Amino acid sequence: MSSPCKFFGWSAVLALAALLAGCASVQAPLPPSLELPKPPTDLRALRKGDHVYLFWSVPTQTMDRQTVRHPGPTHICRGVEALLSTCGTPVGNVGPVANAPEKKSAFNTKVQASFVDTLPREPQQQNPTRMATYAVGPLNLQGRSAGLSNQVHVPLASTLPPPTNFRAQVTADGVVLTWNCDQSQNPLSNLRYIDRIYRRTPDSGTDVALADVECTAGRFEDRTIEWQKTYEYRITPVTVVILPPGNGPCPRTPSQEGSGPNSDCIIATVEGDDSTPQKVFTNDVYPPAMPTGLQAVFSGPGQPPFIDLVWAPNTDADLAGYNVYRHEPGGPPVKINTEPVKTPAFRDANVSAGKAYLYAISAVDGRGNESARSEEASESVPPAP
């Protein structure tokens, strides 16, 4: 029989071992998280007129890789230095993300934040060729930050007001745009002003940049339209910041003036505010051009009698064909084709010996608009032998 003291000794040993094992798993308590949001790395900027639109992803993690549970506001920082070391006095603040609308998609679960800054006129006038630097600094609830986001730059060059008296008119050759350009502001030697023409079709909702024209042009003709469609046009003044020749290497793509040593170098472009849109419907009520060069030739002896007609081809893009008119002297013209003639040639085999005929040609488009008739050409069929 085992001794009670011996049994008690082994039990105590096992209990002590279990206690020691439990104590070995206890770790030192972790320091509390400072909840400093990780600064964004995808800040983007777009300038339009005097406004700068900023976009970035709201931080979801802290610097110690914890989930941001109680976000604070975000400082909007702006300066003229090439690199901002600190935010200084913020030009604006964005409230915590809980108070901001979320913009999510199936492919991007990040919450997007945005801010619109209005540039004061003074920096634009004092430093028209310099850049403004932007950054954002997210804070925790105690107003502490882990630093600034990536930094982006926008030109400070001033922009012209939108053109006035902007008009769009449909013509036979396309849509003609006219406007007045405001050049009361004298540009510096390294600033140039142009007008950018945009077109939108309501069914697509997409803006297409048609052309950049000199501000003083005041006129543009859009020959790329399709008939029976609605278009919306607008004009945007653009300030082009250039590096004149002899002022160092070109940091960006040379402008369209060329790529030689004397060509201008575009440093940046800034779009101003848009003009009032002009909407037009391209209703085609315009006939093709009148055919020219009509000639009539009899078949000649030894052949069945006919008269061949030839004329210069019409180059209108929407040409559907031609109509052929014939009459005898003193009689009314009569159309002798049943369908539009597709080529600039026609053979009239319904002629009689001993008669004279006069011919004229007109052009028709796909909507039935018919041109004026050409100058007449005459030909005679000899009498029967």
- Are 173 and 276 members of one domain? yes
Final residue in a domain of this structure, among 255, 281, 307: 281
Range of the domain at 304: 295-380
The residue among 235, 230, 231, 191 whose CA lies nearest residue 209 is: 235
Parallel, antiparallel, or unpaired for β 345-348 and 307-310?
A: antiparallel
- Are 67 and 106 members of one domain? yes
* Rounded CA Rg of the chain: 40
Task: Specify which residues 115 forms β-bridges with.
Answer: 54
- Are 137 and 52 members of one domain? yes
Final residue in a domain of this structure, among 223, 258, 281: 281
Instruction: Give residue 10's pLDDT.
Output: 46
Residues in the chain: 385
124 falls within a domain: yes
**Residue 347 maps to which CATH number?**
2.60.40.10
Q: pLDDT, tens digit, for every residue of 203-242?
A: 888 899 999 998 888 999 999 999 999 999 999 999 988 8
130 falls within a domain: yes
- Are 274 and 365 members of one domain? no
Quick one: residue 143, left, alpha or beta (phi over 0 = left, psi -120 to 50 = alpha)? left
Instruction: Give residue 373's pLDDT.
Output: 97
Instruction: Give residue 203's pLDDT.
Output: 82
277 falls within a domain: yes
Question: What is the mean pLDDT of each successive set of 10 residues along the chain, which is 385 residues long?
Answer: 46 48 52 82 96 96 90 94 93 76 53 94 68 95 93 92 94 93 69 93 89 91 93 95 66 45 71 95 94 95 92 92 97 96 97 96 95 97 86
23 falls within a domain: no
Give yes or no for a contact between 134 and 78, defined as CB atoms under 8 angstroms apart. Answer: yes
- Are 266 and 347 members of one domain? no
- Are 333 and 360 members of one domain? yes
Distance between CA 218 and CA 343 in Å, rounded? Answer: 40
The number of folded domains in the chain is 3
88 falls within a domain: yes
- Are 308 and 241 members of one domain? no
